[in-house]
């Protein structure tokens, strides 16, 4: 009788242990699935391939991450694409903001607003400047906010034409050397406003 109780006890313990092992395997499998799912986590093989291909790059590909966005409250709900080094943010008014940061031979930062808002007149450059200055101030460590603001406030900008829009160039030497520009394009009821620069 003692042996039967002992055997039943051992079987009970083994059943519980097996269930826990099975649960742990299932959890491990779920975690592994999340880590390999490209929509939830970046693909290490793509990054590794880029790093191997980037041996000739002037700018370090490994430092081109979304770290510069992580502490900015207004941009918290972004989705980062590691391949294109681009954050996509849906703003409160349902407009889209794309922020790209990176490069191999030229390092650049671009903030592009895609605006379907018909209430704001973006043919008025003051409205364009408001958008540009807002993002430049938020990303002050990436963009030269003070110089951009000074150029706009003192009206030292120069205008040019591009396909479907206009471009603003700056007279400030630092902004010129780093190829800063603002573009405004309009097509299909969409306003596209871009602040960008790149370093050779």
CA 140 and chain centroid, separation: 15
pLDDT of residue 14: 55
In the chain, % of residues over pLDDT 70: 72
Q: Is the pLDDT of residue 164 over 50?
A: yes
Higher-scoring residue by pLDDT: 154, 83: 154
User: Lowest-confidence range among 34-43, 66-75, 88-97?
Assistant: 34-43
Higher-scoring residue by pLDDT: 77, 31: 77
Q: How confident is the model at residue 45 (pLDDT cuts 50, 70, 90)?
A: very low
pLDDT of residue 50: 43
Q: How confident is the model at residue 51 (pLDDT cuts 50, 70, 90)?
A: very low
Taking residues 44-63, report their average pLDDT: 57
Higher-scoring residue by pLDDT: 102, 2: 102
Average pLDDT over the chain, rounded to an integer: 78
Domain extents in the chain: 1-41, 58-199
Higher-scoring residue by pLDDT: 67, 38: 67
Which of 56-65, 88-97, 108-117, 170-179 holds the top average pLDDT?
170-179
Placement of tokens 């034409």 in the chain:
161
Q: Has this prediction a pTM greater than 0.85?
A: no
In angstroms, the CA 58 to CA 104 distance is 6
């Amino acid at each position: 009788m003692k042996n039967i109780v002992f055997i039943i006890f051992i079987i009970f313990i083994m059943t519980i242990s097996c269930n826990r092992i099975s649960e742990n395997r299932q959890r491990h499998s779920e975690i592994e699935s999340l880590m390999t799912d490209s929509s939830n986590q970046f693909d290490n093989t793509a990054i590794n391939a880029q790093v191997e291909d980037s041996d000739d790059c002037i700018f370090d590909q490994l430092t081109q991450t979304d770290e510069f966005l992580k502490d900015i409250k207004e941009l918290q709900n972004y989705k980062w694409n590691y391949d294109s080094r681009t954050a996509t943010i849906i703003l409160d008014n349902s407009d889209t903001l794309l922020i790209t940061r990176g490069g191999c031979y030229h390092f650049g930062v671009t903030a592009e607003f895609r605006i379907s808002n018909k209430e704001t007149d973006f043919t008025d450059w003051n409205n364009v400047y408001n958008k540009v200055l807002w993002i430049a101030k938020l990303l002050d460590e990436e963009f030269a906010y003070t110089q951009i603001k000074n150029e706009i406030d003192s009206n030292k900008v120069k205008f040019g034409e591009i396909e479907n829009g206009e471009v603003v160039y700056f007279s400030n030497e630092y902004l010129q050397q780093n190829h800063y520009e603002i573009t405004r394009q309009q097509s299909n009821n969409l306003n596209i406003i871009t602040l960008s620069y790149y370093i050779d």
